[in-house]
Amino acid sequence: MRVYLDNAATTPLDPEVMKEMYKVMETTYGNPSSIHAHGREARTVIEKSRKTIANLLGTSPAEIFFTSSGTEADNTAIKCGIIDHNIKHAITSRIEHHAVLHTFEALEKAGVIKLSFVNVDAKGNIDYDHLETLLKENERSFVSIMHANNEIGTLSDMERIGDLCEAYNAIYHCDTVQTMGHYKHDLSKLKAHFLVCSAHKLHGPKGVGFLHINHRIKIKPFIYGGAQERNMRGGTENIYGIVGLAKALEIAYAEMDQHQQHIQGLKSYMKAQLIESISGISFNGETDEDKSLYTVLNVQFPEMEMADMLLFSLDIAGISASGGSACSSGSDIGSHVLTAIGASTTRPSVRFSFSKYTTKEEIDFTVTKVRELCLVNA
């Protein structure tokens, strides 16, 4: 048996998404920038997909810009938002994805901004009072705080952050890669300037995503070239990927409630089984269901021999998962998220992440194998 529990890294392509993409691959091959019939047909496909996405998110098609990935979307929002608006101060957390952290670090190293880190607690929760203090103490800031942490699953309060940013005239960027398609986002009400999506996190294809740019803010292109994406992103659009993204999001919204119930049930079941089976086990991140991403369970195991080989041992046992341990020294390459929340440096941690295709039988198999590995390495 082979079990896939690394859906936070990427999800399997939905067969319906594949069918939709293949249909377009067979019939639509024109360049969408061309003015002839074949080009107009390709352009129509893109704009129909853009409209589908915008309708699902409660926004205008004019605010959706297709990209190659969530990473490109994050880079575009951060670099262009800061440089084009002459922002000198940025606020983020130490548990953000590297697409965000490394971008800020590069801007700080170049002398463009001063970078502040908002405090997070041992579960990865944002200190909102500290965030307000940072906003008060500095000139207009650029704030980037993700909706759900990709390693430990802790959720941030987007509405509260949006209100704070509005009160202090800050620009708010939110990395929603892990939650787009898993939670409903009403962009007509949310006070965020930038949101991000990557299709392969919601059973769509790799190599395509989008950046939502609220009409209240204007930026220049990050990638120059042709006039694609209404002069916002040069480069011929990935037609097939865009169609797949729109179809994946459409399916996600139509089936969201049942999938959330199914996946949350599996997460709770696995958690209970692990507690019953393995003495001394604990969990990284927020444990309250309302404050935690339902697709992610980050497990901290008891101290064991060969702890650094746990992921490899799981792979040999037929289980695909990810994660790791916090850095125990400055030279170790470990999880920056676990290090930031003060997780144990002597106990191994593994992230198990679920999808609509995950089954109870797979959870039972995983718990059995994990228990065996813990007994062998005790």
Please write the tens of the pLDDT for every residue from 12-70.
999 999 999 999 999 999 999 999 999 999 999 999 999 999 999 999 999 999 999 99
Q: Last residue of a domain, which of 202, 230, 254?
A: 254
pLDDT at 369 over 70: yes
Kindly state whether residues 181 and 285 are assigned to the same domain.
no
CA proximity to 174, closest of 126, 211, 128: 211
Identify the band that residue 323 occupies on the pLDDT scale cut at 50, 70 and 90.
confident
Kindly state whether residues 205 and 310 are assigned to the same domain.
no
Kindly state whether residues 192 and 261 are assigned to the same domain.
no
Q: What is the mean pLDDT of the chain?
A: 95
**What tokens were used for 193?**
């300037």
DSSP state of 12: P
Strand partners, 71: none
Instruction: Choose the catalytic residue: 80, 165, 174, 327.
Output: 327
Q: Last residue of a domain, which of 215, 230, 254?
A: 254
The CATH code of the domain that includes 300 is 3.90.1150.10
Identify the band that residue 327 occupies on the pLDDT scale cut at 50, 70 and 90.
low
Kindly state whether residues 261 and 247 are assigned to the same domain.
no
Do you know the residue count of the chain? 378
The answer to whether 104 and 49 have CB atoms below 8 angstroms apart is no
Residue 102 to residues 98, 142, 152, 350, Cα–Cα distance (Å)? 5, 15, 19, 24
pLDDT, residue 331, reads 46
pTM, two decimal places: 0.95
* Total number of domains constituting the chain: 2
Kindly state whether residues 217 and 262 are assigned to the same domain.
no
pLDDT at 177 over 50: yes
Kindly state whether residues 75 and 218 are assigned to the same domain.
yes
- CA terminus-to-terminus distance, the chain: 25
pLDDT in tens, 261-272: 999 999 999 999
**Nearest 10 degrees: Cα torsion 41, 251, 73, 151:** -160
pLDDT, residue 373, reads 87
Kindly state whether residues 58 and 205 are assigned to the same domain.
yes
Kindly state whether residues 157 and 222 are assigned to the same domain.
yes
Kindly state whether residues 176 and 248 are assigned to the same domain.
yes
pLDDT in tens, 112-166: 999 999 999 999 999 999 999 999 999 899 999 999 999 999 999 999 999 999 9
Instruction: Identify whether 327 is a catalytic site residue.
Output: yes
The answer to whether 220 and 69 have CB atoms below 8 angstroms apart is no
Q: Last residue of a domain, which of 208, 234, 254?
A: 254
pLDDT, residue 119, reads 98
Range of the domain at 234: 15-254
Kindly state whether residues 303 and 248 are assigned to the same domain.
no
Kindly state whether residues 204 and 250 are assigned to the same domain.
yes
Residue 49 to residues 19, 103, 182, 239, Cα–Cα distance (Å)? 15, 29, 19, 9
Kindly state whether residues 45 and 167 are assigned to the same domain.
yes
The CATH code of the domain that includes 248 is 3.40.640.10
